[in-house]
Chain A
């Protein structure tokens, strides 16, 4: 059974242009969560003196999640607990209230002190101080957003996590980018004139594996994000591609054509211990490890069309998981291992879909288009994917219930093959 979750949502479609400090990137939010938590965010005392508003970062994070309704403080601006009058916020309909202050310290660091208050119970949910170098103000905002998210939803926030993607600028410029989960704070990991493909995060977030064509064919590299050092992981004849890390970081799955067809191999991060694990003679590609490290999902056309299969890392039966019309690609496990997200291609359009292992139930989460390469946020609540709007490749997210989508327009060129990094 296929549920078109978004169809029920179209009636309440709303488009919000998030108010962001920088014009370099624009974000559009479509839809809203079913039960939004009303939160009042009072601009921090001292926020207006910063070069970048931490409050704007927090507001942007909470809005994009789709899980919160922001309550206008309407002129009230307490910064300390003693100044808070709970009835003011009950009248405004807020369930929670964020207050605090931020200041640049003499040592050049910024320090933000804040309290999240339960307006209904009139208690403090969390109170903390966060400090960071003054060039990491966005990180401070994301950290506070994560705490708010966790206290109010019970799930771990992912605002402090990072994403990786390929930025294509014309036919002769390719960049491998790492950015904050909201698309800001872009950093170049690699820039060259030949294509880059398939970035994959190591489980500790310290390395990226990826495919580069810089030597004239597809070669897999592993690069440290801290030192920038890189090493060849696989460079055999033909194509070397589709790297995926095991959850313990001790091996990667890669796809090689050195023995003819595209088959899946395991290899250690230093390139040693190569071992082939599929033998279909058809295309086997896009391996992805289960969270327990025991199983792999992968794409294969062994049945005549591209579909998703699973197998055991230790060896065992291979089982087909997707059926019906169309082709299916790019499986990624959910963080709890109970299902997976993938690209569904039918009648000329790509959709982002999930399948639950136990029930087999398939949900189509998006309205369709040029939507590819989905991956879960580490809390399982959001899915990042490549989409297209206004003729450009863009980054997009959809909540795992399909209710909220956001489109992130990066600075220039096409954003391709995004992948969500781990909690750090």
Chain B
């Protein structure tokens, strides 16, 4: 039982490390956990590609041009890979969170963020995921990762995040 717990801790740690999102809360305090692995033998589960930093699945965010909600060519392989992963792991669930920059009304941006989440969901489904595995939400412009009035900031905020639950 203890071994299993440690494996889960390790797995969670890897998930946290693999995450690209700058402000994800669970990624904030990994340091103390690193000191515990000494007695752990080989992990009890096979390495999940989701937790492999070298895998495309480690990428969880896709970015959009201004006032656009279609997944861009460059980001399609990321979304397709997650769609394939979800089809192979029907027990896994994701939450797709859409965001927008501040150039628009708050409500329009909430709608735009929702559409960005929906367009990622549609592509996940094309990749084989089931609709029931995917929840979509929008934060609009309400949860910016960057708050300055410039394009360097805005482009970080025009984003959908794929978050495994």
Asked whether A355 is an interface residue with its Cβ less than 8 Å from the other chain, the reply is no
A335 to chain B, nearest CB (A): 21
Give the residues in chain B near A257, CB-CB below 8 Å. 111, 114, 118, 136, 138
B103:A345 contact, CB within 8 angstroms? yes
A41 to chain B, nearest CB (A): 39
B115:A218 contact, CB within 8 angstroms? no
Asked whether B88 is an interface residue with its Cβ less than 8 Å from the other chain, the reply is no
For the residues of B in contact with A, the DSSP-based class is mixed
Give the residues in chain B near A260, CB-CB below 8 Å. 118
Cα distance A286–B106 when bound, in Å?
9
Q: Could you tell me which residues of chain A, from 120 to 139, have a CB within 8 Å of some CB in chain B?
A: none
Asked whether B107 is an interface residue with its Cβ less than 8 Å from the other chain, the reply is yes
Asked whether A410 is an interface residue with its Cβ less than 8 Å from the other chain, the reply is no
- Choose from B67, B110, B114, B137 the contact partner of A197 (Cβ within 8 Å): B110
- Contact flags A220-256 to B (C-beta < 8 A → 1, else 0): 0000000000000000011101100000000000010
B137:A217 contact, CB within 8 angstroms? yes
Give the residues in chain A near B103, CB-CB below 8 Å. 345, 348
B107:A195 contact, CB within 8 angstroms? no
Asked whether A311 is an interface residue with its Cβ less than 8 Å from the other chain, the reply is no
Give the residues in chain A near B23, CB-CB below 8 Å. 171
Name which residue of chain A comes closest to B117, CB basis. Answer: A238
B142:A213 contact, CB within 8 angstroms? yes
Asked whether A405 is an interface residue with its Cβ less than 8 Å from the other chain, the reply is no
- Contact flags B138-159 to A (C-beta < 8 A → 1, else 0): 1110110000010000000000
User: Once A and B bind, how many residue pairs between them come within 8 Å at the CB atom?
Assistant: 95
Name which residue of chain A comes closest to B105, CB basis. Answer: A329
Give the residues in chain A near B140, CB-CB below 8 Å. 197, 218
B107:A197 contact, CB within 8 angstroms? yes
Give the residues in chain B near A417, CB-CB below 8 Å. 106
Cα distance A413–B107 when bound, in Å?
21
Interface residues on B, range: 20 to 34
How many chain-A residues does the 8 Å CB contact rule pick out?
37
Given contacts A305-B67, A370-B149, contact A285 B143 (CB under 8 A): no
Asked whether B85 is an interface residue with its Cβ less than 8 Å from the other chain, the reply is no
- Choose from A171, A218, A299, A329 the contact partner of B137 (Cβ within 8 Å): A218
Asked whether A317 is an interface residue with its Cβ less than 8 Å from the other chain, the reply is no
Asked whether A216 is an interface residue with its Cβ less than 8 Å from the other chain, the reply is yes
- Choose from B111, B135, B149 the contact partner of A262 (Cβ within 8 Å): B111
Cα distance A218–B141 when bound, in Å?
12
Q: Could you tell me which residues of chain A, from 363 to 384, have a CB within 8 Å of some CB in chain B?
A: 370, 372-373
24 inter-chain pairs at a CB distance below 8 angstroms, sorted by A residue, are: A195-B142, A195-B143, A197-B142, A198-B106, A198-B107, A211-B110, A238-B136, A241-B107, A255-B107, A257-B114, A261-B115, A283-B108, A285-B108, A286-B105, A286-B108, A299-B107, A301-B108, A306-B108, A327-B67, A329-B107, A345-B104, A372-B106, A373-B105, A373-B106
Given contacts A238-B118, A261-B118, A262-B114, 5 further A-B contacts (CB under 8 A): A218-B137, A239-B137, A285-B111, A306-B67, A373-B105
Task: Give the interface of B toward A (CB within 8 A).
Answer: 23, 67, 102-108, 110-115, 118, 135-140, 142-143, 149
